[in-house]
Structure 1
Amino acid sequence: MTSEDSTGAAYNILTNSMYSSAEFEHELLSGRDDLSSENCKPEALLQAVVFVEDAVQFRSIYHKVDIKSLWYYRLYYSPIVQWIISSAICVILLLAFFEFPSSLTTGWSSDPRYRKERIEAPCGLTESIELVCLLIFVADIWMKAYLIGNKQFMKQKWLFAYVLVIVASLIDWIVSVHTACNEIIRFRRLLRPFFLLQNSSLMKKTVRSIKRTLPEVFSVILLVVLHLYFFTMVGIIIFSAQTSSSSVGNSTDTDNGNKTNEDKFFSSIGRGYRSLLVLLTTANNPDVMMPAYIENRMYALFFIIFLSIGLYCFFNMLTAVIYNQFRGYLQSSMQASFFRRRLGIRAAFEIMRRQGKISFTVRQIRNTVPVSMVKSVILQVKMKKVFKTAIIRELDDKMGGFVTSIDFCHLFDVLDKNLKVKKVKLNMLFCPFLRKVQSCISHRYFTYFGSFIAVINVICITIEMGLEKKEEKKAGLIAAMNFLFIIYYIVELILKIWILGWRKYFSSKLNIADFAVVISLFVIEVAYASSIGKPFAITESLGESYDLFVLSRIINLLILVRLFRIITHIKPMAIVAWTTVDLIKNLRAFAGILVVIYYFFAILGIQLFYDKITYEKRDPERMRKCGTYEQLNYWANNFDDFAAALVVLWDVMVVNNWHIFLDAYAEYTNKWYQIYFICWYFVSVLVCLNLFAALIIENFITKWDRYHLQEREDQQTMYMLNVHAMFRPDLKEPSDDDLMNALQSHQHLNIN
């Protein structure tokens, strides 16, 4: 039996928990001469495999380590089981769109005047789906409790809260079924975002970092509150006196209300405080200033000083505090994750090291592990193929030797690197002339010329869209030019594939994207040409055929998309573009937190404001008043269903005109309900958006610095820009004593 065959046999045994220890030893020892002296146990090797997988995924190693538990452990973290749990979380969150009040209406508008009838699910349908999801969560928590043990389970606050949320949700579900779905408030809907939080370790770390950052954030927010209070009191003193004197001296001169509008903004402490809070967000600037400014230009200094201190000092200070503190706490969380990885790697090494009954007298050899044993473990680890291949390649170079704990640890440094796929070499043609053509087409200037043609094409499209309404014949001529450009794209594509070879051409993701766009352009252009008879026909009006209009718009859109290829030719622009792509990939934890707060506030908004503002209840006087909810026709912005509530929260987070919602809901409900919108502003804008800015800054600085470092040192290997890798240069290697102490404290692992 060859080495590869015996490794595969060992893999089959390890992945099947039905094998006994005697069967494993017999097959392993009969097929692997290089491991016969070590007398490896199947349980130990399986433990090493699982510990390495824990290290790869930054998981804790404090779980049961017997063969049966490890089999269930790998099953639990298998893609299919994790997909089922993730699907249950997604489904239970999406139920809010279909539960009462349903977001599905016969009309597409959320405006009560046009949305028509709601499509409500029958009682019991959404409840049945929800019950299935809750039962999946029950199985999830039961499996976690079984795998880590009761003692470790009681130490996990998130898991304990998980149990409480599931129990509360089941109780509220029973109430819903008992009342035939007629209960007004469903508390469990407010708890659903917790399922999303607890399922992501990175989200939990981010939440923990936010919680630690909040005391410093609240200190700055307290300054903002005091700043608002001070200027509110000063404003009431100044403008109430100014209003009184104005009313005495100009009792008959209202000038359409401009001279007495100070009372509108500073009629009371609450009104003045709210007016200045909105001004601090610039939503009502300069509206709040104009009545006083019309009376006396010196009053502008009050508002200028207020905004200079609050907007340009305190708010920027808040961003700085959040960036500095949040980065520090997040880095400490990443340090803990890094310790988990190193602990998992060291645990796997110690397990393998203690399996060998080696008769060497040299201590250095006793503290090592055979490369063959390491390779047999790595082959069974579930990890990305590119990383596994790199590690196996490095082990093959050392085959027959031994690795130390440091060597074994360094094997996994590739996990933080962006390993490039091996470039396919260009096969040179034999004919001298064709070889010159090949060199020209493979040269970067040929790509630059293609991008230049794409720019010209976009300019023609711009002219076409400008002339389409006025001079349809000229627009038709320019549209016909698109056909010539697409012919060039096809010729360029064929030449590149012929000269470079299909393997080298499709080894680039940019080439694959360009291929998809060009082929789509060609197919749609052929369909367009066949519809009008010939590619150079000048139609009287595209509006006569909706299909032709859609095809022409799709062609123009694809050509615009192809213009993005010029980004790769401009290095600063390319860095910004790739940083944006990395940002989208690496901010999933932050995006999840945004989903959580949006979901919670949307459900809470529905409970508070459902059916509070309707077109039938409109105030005719407010309909005529400029700048009101009714006059601006904001009827579609309401909390009558979950989808509409999300849009309202987005509008308030954007800040512009958010005071209109404050006025409207205070008018139709109670002035204290404004606290809901103010809390949403503080949470979403002052905290979350500042966190988002901090992460963007950190992401971009890291990408920019590493790019220039690689450019100076001419490095070929790029480091991945995920959240863990962003902080990798600042993380400290744990000491051997810390690692061994952590291993010895493992409840289910006996390492002496």
Structure 2
Amino acid sequence: METTSLFSSDKMSKYSSTHRNEREMRPRGSRVSQAAMLIRDAYLGFQDAPVEGYYDPYSYDNEIRTVRNQISVVCGRLVVQLRGVAVFVCWVQFMLTFFEPPTWCRDVSDLQIVATSRGDDIINEFGDCKILFEAFGVTADMEENKALYPNFDAMLLTISQSRSIEIGCVGFIAMYMLLQFGDDGFFPSFFFYRGYKRWIRASQCVILIMLLLSILIGNTTFNPFLRMAILGTFLRGFQRELLTLIKMIPDVLYVLSMLGIIVLFYAWFGVVMFVDSPQGRTFPNLLEGMWTLWISVTTANYPDVSMDSYSENRLVAIYWVSFMVISFFYIMNLILAVCTQQYDKSINFRKVSREKLAKKLLSDAFTLLDQKDQGFVSRESIMNVMTILNQDMPEVKTMSSEEKSIIYALLDKNGSDSICLDEFLDWSLVMLLNLSKESDYATLVETKLPYVYHSQWYTQLSDAVKSNRFDTAIDVILVLNAMTILMQDYSMLVGHDTGDPENDETLDTKWEKLETLFTALYVLEVMLKVTINGWKKYKESARNLFDFFVTCMTILASFYVYYPNTYNNTNLIRFIVMARVLRLVRLLFAIESFRLLGAITLDILPASRDIFLVLMFVAYFFATSGQLLYGGYITRDPSNPLSHALLEAKDFTSSAYWPNNFNDMFSGMNVLFNLLVVNNWTTCIQGFEYTTGSKTVRFFFLFFHLICVTGISNVITSVVITSFFQQLEVIEHRYGPNERVDGTSIRGSRAFFAASVLTGTNTGVQGKYSAHIQAVNFDVDIDERAVMRRVFGRSNTPDSK
């Protein structure tokens, strides 16, 4: 299909496929490009700035600006194409904190173990970190050959390597921002346009400057926080969820203040009631009493904390039970209810705001294209917009000539060969349709060996492979495979002595030959399904992809372990044997309830991804802070006085909690995950209280608990519950039996239709296409039936298949 030039001079003709009269296109080019910007924002669901906040390379008549316009178009394309790379680079920079030497041990210290082991080469590469992290010996509690400074053993980078990688990351991000500057015509007024665009760009510039300065002066103490901040500026979903959580803070604080008052009252009462009694050791004063009751709210010490008083007088149960009923059973659930209510409000607000934004943007775009106020937009204008969307806005999916014709036909419901406002408002919905030509699903046999494809034996084979009986036969083989492995591992499962694993001679027995037969059958299954259905259709099934992954993993590992006969890791071999049983998971697909739960899970994962990102960022912040504040405090080094102080923490040492520390990032993240689970979190705190010699460390863990456990975890619970019921309703509609929407049969997530019916006789599009809903960056639930009804209308419904 021939496209129309959208540029203002012949010098820019390389950006279009045909030339137009320069004078004619100048006044229209700006309107078309601005309309394309508005349509793009309506499709993506957000607007960083209004159209006047972007440099428009089509709006200037001055020939001197032609070069600037060309550069702007190129930079704009590169910005979108390199955005994924920029985000990846930010993640690389973010992850440096996990693999570089921690800040607390880089400087030269006066520890005896360092003084006796120091070497200049080690100091230059890792500071003192390598010496401390690789130190093994007799510990302060007299255990032999133990790590003196427990860590995750993940320090893979030297200081200079980490600095070099960070310089490269900062350089790439700076180059990416320069491209953004070029996209805005090198005008600061556009680059820092007021509103969201200004805040994000200004933040990125400031963070980059601070990162660069910290590298130059050699003080990278706060770089982990800057890395987290620069990554956050590129993650729009994270920003949205973080803003939602911030807006929820006042409502949650009201409930937490109620809890605080109740804890204060009961602690006051407890100090008075338990004075001069064994229970008084947990209520020596008001603050300690409040701390004891807060631990009870988290259930970490209940009922142990009440046993001293309860053993003396059973009536004291009234005190403890009433407190737990009010604080744990009521207020903590009230916090969950508030989080759920406020999050639901935010979701509904997003939906309404997105719908309003899309309607406004599309209405403005229609006004720009309808210059003569005729009440409709011509086909030529629509195709001009699609050309700009294809060429200059890669964030919108690229459309072929046939797809553009189909999209136009979908908009033109009444067949008038023009688009009115009501039809134009469906543009963002039309863009949600992912079109696939049915000829693309043709198999290799169908295209290359048609005589085989049409033969009787191949037809019978195809029917057999596509039948339910074939899948049932594979399921039977899976059960037999599981029974074989069960018999093979029977001795271990019942706890019998299996002998020396290093000299296990049972790996090349008849069982393994039988396992090889099962593997061959699985390979045959994959080959038959790919041959009969084609790879494109095969990979669209999550069940097939799972089977394919397990089969490939089994083949590669089995070949590596068994046949070269050079690898004899028995544990790995047993793992490979058990990996085959993973295919039994496919049996769950045969049960409708499990299949429904699996479909819902896949649907709600994107909805919960961003809130998990917020949780990870907060944990990253606390882990980094923990490194700075408490790095090296958990040690078993007998020459370090901290180890002897730690031995006084009896609960900590008796539980062997040595690995729970902030000596490196992975260890710190593990500590924070333990706090999320809540159980025994007070034991972990005890170690830091004794080594720091202060109880102010409690505030660190208290703030994390309030933010992550009481706040974000409740929001995650709310997201899962809300998303589950919403997606359950959507899936029930989607998979309804033979459901029809205005003549369109929707089966699964695919609606089949004949392209020639939709596009009319003048498009020249031949063949059949399939369409299904593709939600791109959508927070809202997409009701496929509603979309199909709006898009297809009543007078131009697709043929069902």
TM-score by length of 2: 0.73
Report SS of the residue matched to 2:42: helix
Q: What aligned pairs does 1:601-616 form with structure 2 within 5 A after superposition?
A: 601-615=622-636, 616=640
| 1:596 partnered with 2:617 | yes
Match of 2:554 among 521, 526, 529: 521
Which of 210, 229, 240 lines up with 2:264 in the alignment? Answer: 229
Query: Does the CA-based 8 Å contact 2:55-2:190 persist in structure 1?
Result: no
Matches within 5 A, 1:638-657: 638-657=661-680
Whether the aligned pair in 2 keeps the contact of 1:609 and 1:640 (CA below 8 Å) is: yes
Deviations 1:282-320 (A, max 9, x none): 122222122223333333343232222222211111111
1:406 matches 2:406: no
C-alpha separation in 1, matches of 2:748 and 2:427: 15
- The alpha-carbon deviation at position 271 of structure 1 amounts to 1.8
SS state at 2:385 partner = helix
Output the CA distance in 1 between the equivalents of 2:442 and 2:718: 42
Aligned partner (choices 459, 478, 482) of residue 515 of structure 2:
482
Q: Distance in 1 between matches of 2:537 and 2:171?
A: 50
Q: Which residue of 2 aligns with 1:374?
A: 382
User: 3-state DSSP class of the match of 2:655?
Assistant: coil
Work out the CA distance in 2 between the residues paired with 1:512 and 1:225.
51
Residue of structure 1 in register with 2:752 after alignment: none
- Residue type of the alignment partner of 2:575: R
Task: Name the amino acid aligned to 1:155.
Answer: R
The 1:451–1:138 alpha-carbon spacing in structure 2 relative to 1, beyond 3 Å, is same
One-letter amino acid of the counterpart of residue 698, structure 1 = T
Shift of 1:547: 4.4
Amino acid at match of 2:520: I
Q: Mean alpha-carbon deviation: is it higher for 101-110 or for 291-300?
A: 101-110
Output the CA distance in 2 between the equivalents of 1:493 and 1:116. 40
2:726 is the alignment partner of 1:726: no
Deviation at 1:656, TM superposition (A): 1.4
2:237 to 202, 206, 210: 202
Question: Superposition pairs for residues 652-663 of structure 1, below 5 Å?
Answer: 652-663=675-686
Asked if the contact 2:57/2:73 (under 8 Å) is kept, the reply is: no
Does the CA contact (< 8 Å) of 2:268 and 2:286 recur in 1?
A: yes
| TM-aligned CA distance change 1:621 to 1:465, over 3 Å | farther
**Is the CA contact 1:278–1:284 (under 8 Å) kept in the aligned structure 2?**
yes
Counterpart of 1:708 in structure 2 is 732
Partner of 1:674: 698
Indicate whether 1:155 and 2:194 are aligned.
Answer: yes
From 445, 465, 480, the equivalent of 2:469 is 445
**Most deviating of 469-478 and 433-442:** 469-478
8 Å CA contact retained: 2:660, 2:671: yes
Q: Is the 8 A contact 1:197 1:592 kept in 2?
A: no
The AA in structure 1 aligned to 2:778 is H
Specify the alignment match of 1:392 in structure 2: 405
Alignment partner of 2:715 out of 683, 686, 691: 691
CA 1:161–1:215 in 2, change beyond 3 Å: closer, same or farther? same
The 10-residue stretch of structure 1 (74-83 or 697-706) with the greater mean CA deviation from structure 2:
74-83
- The CA RMSD measured in Å over matched residues stands at 4.3
The answer to whether structure 1 residue 215 and structure 2 residue 250 are counterparts is: yes
Change (3 A) 1:88 1:454: same
Aligned equivalents of 1:473, 1:26: Cα separation in 2: 70
SS of the residue corresponding to residue 490 of structure 1 reads helix
Farther off after superposition, 118-127 or 321-330 = 118-127
- Greater percentage in helix: 1
Inter-CA distance 521–299: structure 2 relative to 1 (3 Å threshold): same
Q: Which of 30, 49, 65 lines up with 2:56 in the alignment?
A: 65
Structure 1 residues 631 and 327 mapped into 2: Cα distance closer, same or farther (>3 Å)? same
The corresponding residue for 1:82 is 83
The residue aligned with 2:332 is 315
Q: What is the correspondence of 1:111-510 to structure 2 with a 5 Å cutoff?
A: 112-113=148-149, 126-127=162-163, 129-131=165-167, 133-134=169-170, 147=184, 150=189, 153=192, 155-156=194-195, 159-160=198-199, 163=202, 166-167=205-206, 170=209, 174=213, 177-178=216-217, 180-181=218-219, 186-240=221-275, 243=277, 260=278, 262-354=279-371, 366-379=374-387, 380-381=389-390, 382=394, 383-384=396-397, 392-396=405-409, 401-416=417-432, 422=438, 424=441, 438-468=462-492, 470=497, 476-497=509-530, 500=533, 505=538, 508-510=541-543
Shift of 1:325: 0.8
Identity of counterpart residues, as a percentage? 17
CA distance in 2, matches of 1:265, 1:419: 68
More displaced 10-residue stretch of structure 1: 226-235 or 397-406: 397-406
Q: By how many angstroms is 1:689 displaced? A: 0.8
Aligned-residue offset at 1:693:
1.2
Equivalent pairs, count: 675
Structure 1's 117 and 304: CA in aligned 2 closer, same or farther, altered over 3 A?
closer
Offset of 1:274 from its aligned partner? Answer: 1.2
User: What amino acid does structure 1 have at the position aligned with 2:576?
Assistant: I
Aligned partner of 1:617 in structure 2 is: 641
2:762 counterpart residue number = none
Amino acid of the structure 1 residue aligned with 2:426:
H
Structure 2, unmatched stretches of 5+, are: 59-67, 107-125, 137-145, 447-451, 499-503, 741-745, 750-772, 788-801
Does the 8 Å CA contact 1:112/1:636 hold for their aligned counterparts? no
Deviates more, 1:39-48 or 1:450-459: 39-48
Q: Deviations over 1:38-77 (max 9, x none)?
A: 9984444333434333333334243232435696367346
Aligned residue type for 1:481? L
Task: Give ranges in structure 1 of 5+ residues lacking alignment.
Answer: 244-259, 358-362, 533-543, 734-752
Question: What is the identity, as a one-letter code, of the residue corresponding to 2:225?
Answer: L
SS in 1 for 2:698: helix
How many Å apart are 1:232 and its aligned residue?
Answer: 1.6
Task: Kindly indicate whether residue 558 of structure 2 is the aligned counterpart of residue 550 of structure 1.
Answer: no
Query: Deviation digits for residues 534-581 of structure 1, max 9, x if unmatched?
Result: xxxxxxxxxx96246534422421x23322222322232122223323
Offset from partner CA, 1:565-604 (integer Å, 9 cap, x none): 2232223212222332333334332233223212221222
Q: Answer yes or no: is 1:585 the counterpart of 2:606.
A: yes
CA distance in 1, matches of 2:491, 2:435: 49
Partner of 2:449: none
Instruction: Mark the CA change 1:314 to 1:29 in structure 2 (over 3 Å): closer, same or farther.
Output: same
Aligned in 2, Cα 1:42/1:175: closer, same or farther, shift over 3 Å? closer
Aligned-pair CA distance for 1:385: 5.0
Partner SS, residue 696 of structure 2: helix
Give the whole-Å Cα distance in 1 for the aligned partners of 2:14 and 2:456. 64
Structure 1 residues 18-27 or 277-286, which shifts more?
Answer: 18-27
Correspondence for 1:95 = 96
Name the SS for the 1:403 alignment partner.
strand
1:215 to partner: Cα distance: 0.8
1:134, CA displacement in angstroms?
A: 4.5
For 1:305 and 1:290, the matched residues in 2 are separated by: 16
- Indicate conservation of the 8 Å contact 1:209/1:330, yes or no: no
* C-alpha separation in 1, matches of 2:701 and 2:332: 19
> Aligned partners of 2:475 and 2:399: how far apart in 1?
32
Compared with structure 1, are the counterparts of its residues 39 and 677 closer, same or farther at alpha carbon in structure 2 (3 Å cutoff)?
closer
Deviations 1:626-666 (Å, cap 9, x if unpaired)? 5x222222222222222322222222222111112322222
